[in-house]
Structure 1
Amino acid sequence: MNFANYRKQPLFWNGITMAVLTVAILPLLFLDSRTLLGVNVWIKPLKFTLSVGLYSLTTVWVMFTFLNDWKQQNKIQLVLTVTSAIEIIFITLQAARGEASHFNITTTWNQIVYSVMGTSISIFWVFHLWMGYQIFRKESISQSIKESLVWGLGIAGFAMIIAFFMTSPRPDQLESIKQGIFQASGSHNFGIGDPGKGITFFGWSTQIGDMRVPHFFGMHVMQIFVFLAAFLMGKRNSIQNLFLIRTIGFVLLLVNVVMVIQTLNGESVFYINPMYTTVYGISFVLVSVCLFKLILQPKLHTHEATL
């Protein structure tokens, strides 16, 4: 697909807009010293513009390459673009105000922002799954490529839905709300104790459970599968390739589920727990072996006469 085709795709321009916003936000990290919960106020918008930009540019390739003849594909792109734009606009606006965008119900405005963001991302999730379903049911796509895309889109959909664990108000928050005290509704932290400073840039806690880790992991595993699908376009469609793709998909989904369980148990994914760490270690080895075998698969050769 050449650039002229890309220019007609809403998600392409969404990705470009996110890239421009990322560049625009970077200087603010140094010019604006304000912090929120110990973190520069512009870190969160930067993380989201990077994430949405990556999602947009990989998804537009998937839709144009495999769903170009689907009548609804342009509408799907528009919905994904608008709903993600709403998310970015509010996150950036709240950062400029020095206010938290998520879980913040301290004022009527903050409650509206949190509610609208929740609604927009829910719509985004539904249309993301609709796109994945269309990939699943399309017969013209090579089976190994199709399964790679479906695993990626499916795990990303799972990662989106686990975000709702974070939005559920905790018992102490519900009690405060009953007393007319509106501070927060939900949290990305699970467990008891100080979450600590967190990992540089990402802010993920290494002390207690942090649902942002499995959420991020599942969302961006999708890009691995999309790149894998692109790689497989030059490979033979074989039973072995299909088995390897299914193994990678099942293992990475299992890892994502285990991450959620460990987090809900109040334990950081980065804590060395013999059981969880063993699962992650074995999974890493399995996925690495499968990827290595896929890379070694012979390319398709076309027999053309040179004149």
Structure 2
Amino acid sequence: MNAILRELDRRQPVLARLGWAMAALLAACLAAMLVDGRSINGVSVWTKPAKFAASLAVWFWTLAWAWGVLAPAAREGRIARLVLWGTVAAGLFEQGWITLRAALGLRSHFASDPLGAFMFSVMGAAALALVLLAAVLGLLVLWRGDAAQARPWRMAVGLGLVVAGVMGGVTGFAIGAQGGPVIGGTLSDAASWPPFFWSRDGGDLRIAHFLGTHAMQVVPAFALLAAPGAAGVMLAALGWLALSVAAFVLALAGIPLMP
């Protein structure tokens, strides 16, 4: 484990250390749940910042690992710098605003107060930037991957990031356009299963969002465990994309996946 952590820091220290910062914030949010009895939508006010901190920790660490699959010259190029600092800015803004609203006992998503409603639209733009930048990094890996590393591995990392970026954008946009993630079911998180709190009686777009964005871990993991050729990696990426799309279609139809 220590070797993996050192390798993350070597590959992309900014993203690696931001991942640690998010992990520390997650621990702080979990501790706050023990002493702060306030709730939003039936769950602790600290649930949402905790979930986002966990998600961003994994996000930052995954991108840091992917950095090492780029050709050495590409890691310092203009596109890579855009991805790096755009991801840092968007991620810190998202987490910062969500945490601030939780501390104030207010909604960060689908808020009814004027400032909250305006900032929710800004958050949408930041979230879109995050997923698009992940897709850009994936394309950069496919285009300018390190030739010293096996082609199927480069494909797995690149395609995983592209699928995550595309499905993250599509599902995130749908959640905003629908006015919430739940279709035809109970809106209260208290009636759902922790830690994700997905709806048990209606379609929930968050499931497709979760599956889609985690393509960046699943496809490379498949490549590591199964050691397939390039065709196998392509099939794995298409298969995970199909699974994410199926969950998306079912959610739009109001069909629950977590009874």
Q: TM-score range by the shorter chain?
A: 0.7 to 0.9
C-alpha separation in 2, matches of 1:195 and 1:165? 16
Residue 147 of structure 1 is matched in structure 2 by 155
Query: Do the aligned partners of 2:182 and 2:202 also contact (CA within 8 Å) in 1?
Result: yes
C-alpha separation in 2, matches of 1:112 and 1:64? 38
Unpaired stretches in structure 1, ≥5 consecutive residues: 170-185, 272-307
Residue 81 of structure 1 is matched in structure 2 by 88
> Aligned to 1:255, what secondary structure does the other structure show?
helix
Which residue identity is paired with 2:173? F
**What's the CA shift for 1:216?**
0.9
C-alpha separation in 2, matches of 1:252 and 1:210? 18
Structure 1 residues 230 and 69: alpha-carbon distance in aligned structure 2, compared to 1, 3 A threshold = farther
Q: 2:198 is matched with which residue: 204, 207, 223?
A: 204
C-alpha separation in 2, matches of 1:69 and 1:230? 25
1:287-302 alignment, distance < 5 Å: none
Q: 2:36 is matched with which residue: 13, 32, 39?
A: 32
**What's the CA shift for 1:195?**
4.8
**What's the CA shift for 1:208?**
0.1
Q: Name which one, 1 or 2, has greater alpha-carbon Rg.
A: 1
Residue 194 of structure 1 is matched in structure 2 by 186
Q: 1:121 is matched with which residue: 116, 124, 127?
A: 127
C-alpha separation in 1, matches of 2:100 and 2:206? 21
Q: Deviations over 1:24-45 (max 9, x none)?
A: 1111111111111111111111
Residue 214 of structure 1 is matched in structure 2 by 208
Q: Are 2:160 and 1:167 equivalent residues in the alignment?
A: no
Q: 1:138 is matched with which residue: 140, 144, 156?
A: 144
**What's the CA shift for 1:198?**
0.8
C-alpha separation in 2, matches of 1:249 and 1:3? 28
Q: Deviations over 1:52-89 (max 9, x none)?
A: 10011111011133243211323421211110110000
**What's the CA shift for 1:12?**
1.3
> Aligned to 1:204, what secondary structure does the other structure show?
coil
C-alpha separation in 1, matches of 2:57 and 2:68? 17
Instruction: Provide the TM-score with structure 2 as the length reference.
Output: 0.87
Unpaired stretches in structure 2, ≥5 consecutive residues: none
Query: Do the aligned partners of 1:9 and 1:74 also contact (CA within 8 Å) in 2?
Result: no
Which residue identity is paired with 1:132? G
Which residue identity is paired with 2:175? M
**What's the CA shift for 1:138?**
2.5
1:261-300 alignment, distance < 5 Å: 261-270=249-258
C-alpha separation in 2, matches of 1:27 and 1:2? 24
C-alpha separation in 2, matches of 1:93 and 1:46? 12
Which residue identity is paired with 2:97? F
Structure 1 residues 55 and 136: alpha-carbon distance in aligned structure 2, compared to 1, 3 A threshold = same
C-alpha separation in 1, matches of 2:18 and 2:222? 23
In percent, how many aligned pairs have the same letter?
Answer: 25
**What's the CA shift for 1:143?**
2.3
Instruction: Provide the TM-score with structure 1 as the length reference.
Output: 0.74
Which residue identity is paired with 1:123? A
Aligned-residue RMSD, C-alpha: 2.3
Q: Which is richer in helix?
A: 2
**What's the CA shift for 1:226?**
3.3
Q: Are 2:59 and 1:55 equivalent residues in the alignment?
A: yes
